[in-house]
């Protein structure tokens, strides 16, 4: 199947499944009866036992379909901007300059703050949390603080990665001749990419809609940093 057609098909299917998930009942019994049972219990263990007994797969279907829809819409936007119609067209993407990479890395990272607010507000409004749970303001504040503090290690990572790096460069390229230092950098960026993809998959399954495009940008960022290094080493070999 043509790449663009596949992405459009995935977008449509995930959208239809998401719409369908709204029609699924939250519980196998009438919701008001189950809610009555849940609010009458004073034991947390009993609460979760009742919830597990009557809960349907509505939330799982809604989260995954919403996550896949967010991902496919982002990819559809990327393919439209860069005029990508087949996988080989990704080779034509040019990385940003060093200053732009640093700027957008910080901007997208700060985007995790409204993303966190949306995540907990949406789930709170959907009724995901028990009546005895703490205010959603607590995790929002904690994660917002963590995002701000993590700007320091993020920028240290960027400075280390952009040192002896030649940008802009093509997004996908390989060393002409690998040496020990090349393998070290490949492992470094390979681990970074695997962690990022694992987080992306987690966001998709959790339906964390606005964190998905942010994580996709960091996929692009890591590939850009890797290829800036390779471009630097390839140019050294020419001299």
Looking at residue 166, the DSSP 8-state letter turns out to be: -
Q: What is the pLDDT of residue 233?
A: 78
Q: At what angle do helices 180-206 and 58-81 cross, to 10 degrees?
A: 130
In this predicted model, what pLDDT tens digit does every residue of 130-172 receive, in sequence order? 888 888 899 999 999 999 999 999 999 999 999 888 877 777 7
Burial class (CB in 10 A: 0-12, 13-18, 19+), 175: middle
In this predicted model, what pLDDT tens digit does every residue of 111-127 receive, in sequence order? 999 999 999 999 988 88
Q: What is the pLDDT of residue 237?
A: 60
Q: Where do the domains of the chain lie?
A: 1-92, 94-239
Residues facing residue 27 across a β-bridge: 55
Tokens (6 digits) for 19: 């719409």
What is the average pLDDT value for the chain, to the nearest integer?
A: 88
pLDDT > 90 in the chain, percent: 51
pLDDT score of 1 more than 60 = no
pLDDT score of 238 more than 80 = no
Looking at residue 97, the DSSP 8-state letter turns out to be: P
Identify which has the larger pLDDT, 231 or 110. Answer: 110
pLDDT score of 236 more than 70 = no
Residue with tokens 């507000």: 121
Q: What is the pLDDT of residue 158?
A: 95
Burial class (CB in 10 A: 0-12, 13-18, 19+), 83: exposed
Q: Which of 170, 225, 162 is nearest to 193 (CA)?
A: 225
Identify which has the larger pLDDT, 58 or 234. Answer: 58
Q: What is the pLDDT of residue 2?
A: 75
Residue with tokens 């001299």: 239
Q: What is the pLDDT of residue 192?
A: 96
Rounded to the nearest angstrom, the gap between the alpha carbon of residue 46 and the centroid of all alpha carbons in its chain is 34
Evaluate whether 112 touches 148 at the Cβ level (below 8 Å): no
Confidence of residue 216 (pLDDT cuts 50, 70, 90): very high
pLDDT score of 173 more than 80 = no
């Amino acid at each position: 199947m043509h790449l663009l057609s596949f992405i459009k098909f995935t977008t449509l299917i995930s959208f239809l499944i998401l719409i369908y998930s709204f029609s699924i009942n939250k519980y196998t019994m009438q919701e008001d009866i189950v809610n009555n049972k849940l609010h009458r219990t004073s034991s947390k263990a009993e609460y979760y036992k009742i919830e597990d007994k009557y809960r349907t797969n509505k939330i799982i279907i809604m989260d995954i379909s919403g996550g896949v829809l967010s991902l496919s819409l982002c990819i559809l936007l990327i393919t439209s901007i860069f005029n990508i119609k087949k996988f080989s067209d990704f080779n034509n993407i040019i990385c940003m300059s060093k200053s732009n990479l640093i700027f957008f890395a910080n901007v997208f990272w700060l985007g995790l703050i409204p993303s966190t607010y949306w995540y907990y507000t949406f789930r709170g409004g959907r009724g995901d949390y028990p009546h005895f749970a703490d205010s959603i303001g607590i995790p929002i504040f904690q994660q917002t603080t963590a995002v701000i503090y993590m700007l320091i290690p993020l920028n240290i990572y960027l400075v280390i990665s952009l040192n002896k790096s030649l940008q802009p460069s093509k997004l996908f390229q390989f060393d002409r001749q690998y040496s020990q230092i090349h393998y070290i950098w490949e492992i470094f960026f390979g681990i970074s990419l695997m962690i990022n993809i694992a987080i992306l998959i987690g966001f998709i399954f959790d339906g964390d809609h606005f964190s998905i495009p942010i994580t996709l940008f960091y996929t692009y960022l890591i590939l850009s940093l890797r290829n800036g290094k390779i471009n630097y080493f390839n140019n050294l070999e020419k001299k």
